[in-house]
Amino acid sequence: MKVLILNGSPKKKSDTFRMTDAFLKGLNRAGEHEVNIINVIDKKVAPCQGCFGCWQKMDGHCVIDDDQNAILDLYTAADIIIWSFPLYVYGMPSHLKAVLDRTIPLVKMKMLEEGDGTVRHESLVDFSKKHTLVICGCGFPDWEGNFDGLRLQCAQAFRGSQIVCVPETPMLNVPQAAVVADPLLARFEKAGEEYAQNHSLSPETIAALEIPMIPKEMYIRIVNGG
């Protein structure tokens, strides 16, 4: 299968991508997939200018001539799409949000009302055959309330997707924290194996991935230098 990873971390040594990399190891364990990793920070992706020129052309491409059209080609061809990024002000980093905004060429201007009353643009691409997973890490000591806005956005933007929200991710690049970080990465590898089989993760698996590595009070004390 073709797997597209949209890495939204701006850092070369990414806490969040360590989890995604472990997930990929598990995903490939039963057989190698064709994996494309896009480090979005290295690409030239301008903000959407709201011109709707893409809806005039209807060819799945944006009228802005930058790296986004190559990303759209990979997006269209992918069977599995993984959005991997750290939480920035309760949402996506701006450079990754630009990529999401400029997926508009993949839908039509025509609107359809779904059975639940939701109104959406008709798709130019058959998204029903794509599997989307969001992996997001943050530096807060828990996820209660911190990921609410992101969860809502992803539920609307990626219908049928799953999202894994992990707190305390700065610990993943602290050697002294390996005793609690390594078991988390091992769980991500197992989750990748599960996803390879089912193209989904069980609620129990997601819950196990989202458990804080250490108690909140201890984490805050460490961050604050106490």
Domain containing residue 7: 2-223
Distance, in Å, from the CA atom of 201 to the CA atom of 7, rounded to the nearest integer, reads 20
- The tens digit of pLDDT for each residue in 156-205 reads 999 889 999 999 999 998 999 999 999 999 999 999 999 999 999 999 99
CATH number at 13 reads: 3.40.50.360
Give the mean pLDDT of 21-39: 93
- Counted domains in the chain: 1
Residue with tokens 């986004």: 68
Give how far the C-alpha of residue 144 lies from the chain's centroid of Cα atoms, to the nearest Å: 19
d(CA 124, CA 211): 38
The closest of 69, 79, 139 to 99, measured between CA atoms, is 69
**Rg of the chain taking only CA atoms, in angstroms:** 18
Encode pLDDT of 31-78 as tens digits.
Answer: 888 999 999 999 999 999 999 999 999 999 999 999 999 999 999 999
pTM (global) more than 0.85: yes
Is the CB of residue 18 less than 8 Å from the CB of residue 185? Answer: yes
